[in-house]
A and B are shown apart, each in its own frame.
Chain A
């Protein structure tokens, strides 16, 4: 049983997950450096799958490396680059290596990346990908071919509470729950009213469906402007950006912003934890976690 499922299904603890940095080169030494930053503060970390449509070391290879270093991976699988055979192969490969947490996503389009001329696949979509993972856990491939013993996956999905059509996002999230997802990580959201409506709706209609909102740690308004302009589905109100830009200490203002967002998100119904994406990579991660009441743990660094 994965740590993530243990926390969400069998405890009242909060789950804290990190985004493992996308990985290109530098070998296991560099993996170990990332792990040293993440392991004391988080229960698990997402191993991304060609994030933002840029090629990197593969999702499964990084997840295995994380596991070797004592960090529990959440293997992301997106539908942009792989057809249904390759997605099932990723999942079964994960199972071979004892990786149980799998996050099934539609994924950004190829046009968001640095090779927009590539063929986009999308043989499956997000909800279908969740269902495919679920089918495997019943001891069969999509074709019906038996798998004995069946793999054990703790399946998650993602949703963007801040993208149109807003009303429908709740239903779309619950659709993924029906397809097999046990919890849902959310896209970064700078509209607190939308996050509130989304969490209230999901908590009322699907009480056992755990919500993990995301926050991102940045150093200044440039990063906010970049996300606002370049990241599909992220909209940041001008007042939020101006609040950081016009501050005497933008770095501190950006920290206070993420701290306030984190506390707000954790106060909402259905929310069982937080996903933290750290682009600051300075000592403020420790500061944020301590402000949120977390204490460092060293047991994950045993390896």
Chain B
């Protein structure tokens, strides 16, 4: 099953979302637009190079995937909690998961593993001493 699952996932998700099989899927939080189709593979929103018409700095013919995601998260009938995740700080991609099934990684919580330093400092708000002045 672990060998078959990535093939099934790829066969379904690639034609629909252009899935790159990063193995740590965040589609639900990005308006069902895959951030790995960004030429810079950015996971935390659009870069500063977005063109005036909302298109990509690298591929002028393509709409910026983060502009598209920003529109789609509101247009699509998605749960509000998914929409709220749009702006979450996503950790760096774990390159070891490339080519594995994100479904399996979700079930086993393997996709929740983060580097120890990130987990301790970024995922733990109390450790964030510097930003107390920010209003929620």
Contacts and interface: CB of A to CB of B under 8 A. Distances in A.
B54 A165 contact: yes
Contact of A128 (B39, B87, B91): B91
B117 A175 contact: no
B127 A232 contact: no
Contacts, number: 156
A134 B121 CA distance: 8
Given A109-B40, A179-B122, A208-B134, A163 B48 contact: yes
Interface stretch (A89-97, A139-147, A215-223, A266-274): A139-147
A58 interface: no
Given A138-B127, A207-B133, A168 B58 contact: no
Interface stretch (B5-13, B20-28, B63-71, B96-104): B63-71
B60 to A, nearest CB: 10
B120 interface: yes
B62 to A, nearest CB: 13
B50 A168 contact: no
A142 B115 contact: yes
A154 to B, nearest CB: 10
Tier of interface size on chain B: 35 or more
Contact of A144 (B47, B66, B120, B135): B120
Nearest to B59: A111
Interface stretch (A18-26, A118-126, A289-297): A118-126
A109 B57 contact: yes
Contacts of A122: 40-42
A73 interface: no
Interface of B: 39-54, 57-58, 64, 66-67, 70-71, 87, 89-93, 95, 115-118, 120-122, 127-128, 130-131, 133-135
